[in-house]
């Protein structure tokens, strides 16, 4: 019994499926609002791919749904269907058309990739150093900060590296991402085009490569300022005042921030030190007593040999044991003194 195919029904199903998918694609804010030129270009490629996918999805959905509705066998009827082996024209079409479509996506993507990797003349160069579990940003004036401040509408060329394992630098609103690899420097270009304000005070800097126990907490901030505000900040001295007994010129609070202590520990004198992975550094006294050591000695030991004494309620093997070799001794002394003298 030959069946007549209702092409009207087929097209209607396709249009409905496509419309639903298009609504999902358009009304859900999938991508973050772009805050850089590069993100704007990424958005374009994203939409190019989306339109292609909507069409393919609608076609496949239409044929599948139509078949499910109209081509069911009668229960118990295991007789065969029509012996259709193929259709050369159709097969050529569905080979060539996708090939052309994906090639076009390649071309569009390659162009955007080239533009997004073009730093232009006179970019601002900032060295980004990742380590377990903090970010450091070093500016051309050789000052280092834990927060990335950028001028709007000027391309910044980030030179990214790592001190230990793989990390990855990402700001979702900027679109751009690049791994931090020990032993090499990877470049990443960002041209922010949206200034932060009170409503949106910063864009998050997120580590996106599993780097150990503090990976989820390895975050920082990117703050985009007007050119004028940036220049004022850059020229002015925004380093915290040196703490007593600064280690060889570097204030102890900066040593604290540079080594990412705040990612795992809470410490009131350092705003932003709100980590909960390790013990609260404001009240170390009782633990030092349990360890049978003076406060200063215990703090120093905890930095260079964290597993020597574990604060009750915490686990061994969590705090990296490498600080003894990566932080100079005088800085460790300064840092320990700083923490000891700021107990609450």
Give, as ranges, the residues between 85 and 104 that touch another protein (CB under 8 A): 85-87, 90-91, 94-95, 98-99, 102-103
Which of 120, 140, 182, 286 touches another protein by CB under 8 A? 182
Give the residue with the Cβ less far from another protein, 223 or 337. 223
> Can you read off the two tokens belonging to residue 94?
């569905």
> Residue for token digits 């001028």?
151
Q: How far is the CB of 63 from another protein (least distance, A)?
A: 5
CA distance 217 to 211: 11
290 to 309: interface string for another protein, x by CB under 8 A: --------------------
DSSP label at 129?
E
CA distance 344 to 333: 20
Sole window of 80-88, 194-202, 236-244, 334-342 interacting with another protein (rule: CB under 8 A) = 80-88
SS3 call for 8: helix
Asked if omega into 220 is within 30° of 0 (cis), the reply is no
Residue 134 phi, psi (nearest 5): -145, 160
CA distance 202 to 149: 9
Sole window of 57-65, 250-258, 280-288, 336-344 interacting with another protein (rule: CB under 8 A) = 57-65
Give the residue with the Cβ less far from another protein, 213 or 303. 213
Residue 166 makes contact with another protein by CB under 8 A: yes
Task: Enumerate residues 230-269 that contact another protein by CB under 8 A.
Answer: none
Give the residue with the Cβ less far from another protein, 146 or 214. 214
Residue 197 phi, psi (nearest 5): -140, -170
Asked if 214 and 58 count as a contact pair (C-beta separation under 8 A), the reply is: no
Asked if 292 and 209 count as a contact pair (C-beta separation under 8 A), the reply is: no
Q: How far is the CB of 2 from another protein (least distance, A)?
A: 10
Q: How far is the CB of 308 from another protein (least distance, A)?
A: 16
CA distance 131 to 111: 33
Q: How far is the CB of 124 from another protein (least distance, A)?
A: 20
Neighbours of 253 (CB within 10 A): 22
Residue 197 makes contact with another protein by CB under 8 A: no
Which of 8, 73, 198, 228 touches another protein by CB under 8 A? 73
Q: How far is the CB of 233 from another protein (least distance, A)?
A: 26
Residue 3 makes contact with another protein by CB under 8 A: yes
Extended strands (E) in 200-321 = 203-207, 219-225
Which of 16, 22, 31, 295 touches another protein by CB under 8 A? 31
């Amino acid at each position: 019994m030959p069946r007549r195919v209702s092409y009207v029904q087929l097209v209607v199903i396709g249009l409905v499926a496509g419309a639903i998918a298009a609504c999902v694609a358009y009304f859900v804010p999938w991508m973050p609002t772009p805050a850089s030129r590069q993100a704007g270009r990424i958005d374009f490629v994203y939409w190019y791919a989306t339109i292609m996918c909507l069409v393919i999805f609608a076609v496949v959905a239409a044929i599948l749904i139509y078949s499910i509705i109209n081509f069911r066998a009668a229960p118990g009827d295991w007789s065969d269907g029509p012996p259709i082996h193929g259709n050369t024209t159709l097969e050529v079409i569905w080979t060539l058309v996708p090939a052309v479509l994906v090639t076009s996506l390649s071309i569009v993507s390659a162009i955007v990739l080239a533009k997004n990797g073009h730093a232009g003349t006179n970019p601002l160069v900032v060295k980004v150093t990742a380590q377990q579990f903090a970010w450091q940003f070093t500016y051309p004036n050789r000052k280092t900060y834990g927060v990335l401040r950028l001028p709007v509408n000027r391309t910044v060329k980030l030179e990214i590296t790592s001190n230990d394992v793989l990390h990855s630098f990402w700001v979702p609103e900027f679109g751009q991402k690049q791994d931090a690899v020990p032993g090499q420097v990877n470049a990443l270009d960002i041209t922010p085009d949206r200034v932060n304000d009170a409503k949106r005070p910063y864009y998050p800097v997120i580590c996106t490569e599993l780097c150990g126990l503090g990976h989820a907490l390895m975050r920082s901030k990117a703050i985009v300022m007007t050119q004028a505000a940036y220049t004022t900040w850059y020229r002015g001295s925004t380093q915290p005042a040196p703490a007593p007994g600064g280690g060889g010129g570097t204030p102890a609070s900066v040593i604290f921030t540079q080594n990412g202590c705040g990612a795992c520990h809470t410490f009131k004198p350092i705003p932003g030190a709100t980590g909960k992975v390790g013990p609260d550094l404001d009240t170390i006294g009782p633990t030092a007593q349990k360890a049978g050591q003076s406060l200063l000695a215990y703090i120093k030991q905890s930095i260079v040999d964290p597993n020597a004494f574990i604060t009750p309620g915490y686990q061994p093997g969590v705090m990296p044991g490498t600080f003894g070799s990566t932080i100079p001794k005088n800085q460790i002394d300064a840092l320990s003194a700083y923490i000891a003298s700021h107990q609450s």
